[in-house]
Amino acid sequence: MSEGSGAGRRRRSAAQRDEERMRSILRGATPSAARLLAEAIDNEELTISVRLDCAKDVLNRVYGKQPSGGEEPPSVSLVLSEEVKPFAR
């Protein structure tokens, strides 16, 4: 084999390639996800609970999560509008 033939390189498994593709797709969706969270915070048609969860998620992603002192971490719920539900699957 010649030096440039890739000898000695590790081949990625199909699962690794799929995961890399998935991460790339999700990175591309990040601006839309951030916009959706920001819009949900100001959407008065949503419950205050959903709006607070969105606000907490934004703050946690920007500033990091604060230590919880042994408490269970709070859960986050995301309620999708009918028009975006098909993209969540």
pLDDT at residue number 66 = 72
pLDDT interval class at 65 (50, 70, 90): confident
The more confident residue out of 39 and 7 is 39
Using H for helix, E for strand and C for coil, what is the string for the chain?
CCHHHCCCCCCCCHHHHHHHHHHHHHHHHHHHHHHHHHHHHHCCCCCHHHHHHHHHHHHHHHHCCCCCCCCCCCCCCCCCCCCCHHHHC
Range of the domain at 37: 13-65+75-88
Could you tell me if residue 7 is inside a domain?
no
Could you tell me if residue 44 is inside a domain?
yes
CA–CA separation, 34 and 58 (whole Å): 8
Tokens 């990625």 correspond to what residue?
12
Could you tell me if residue 49 is inside a domain?
yes
Could you tell me if residue 56 is inside a domain?
yes
pTM above 0.85, yes or no: no
pLDDT at residue number 77 = 77
pLDDT tens, 43-61? Answer: 999 999 999 999 999 999 8
Could you tell me if residue 45 is inside a domain?
yes
Number of domains present in the structure of the chain: 1
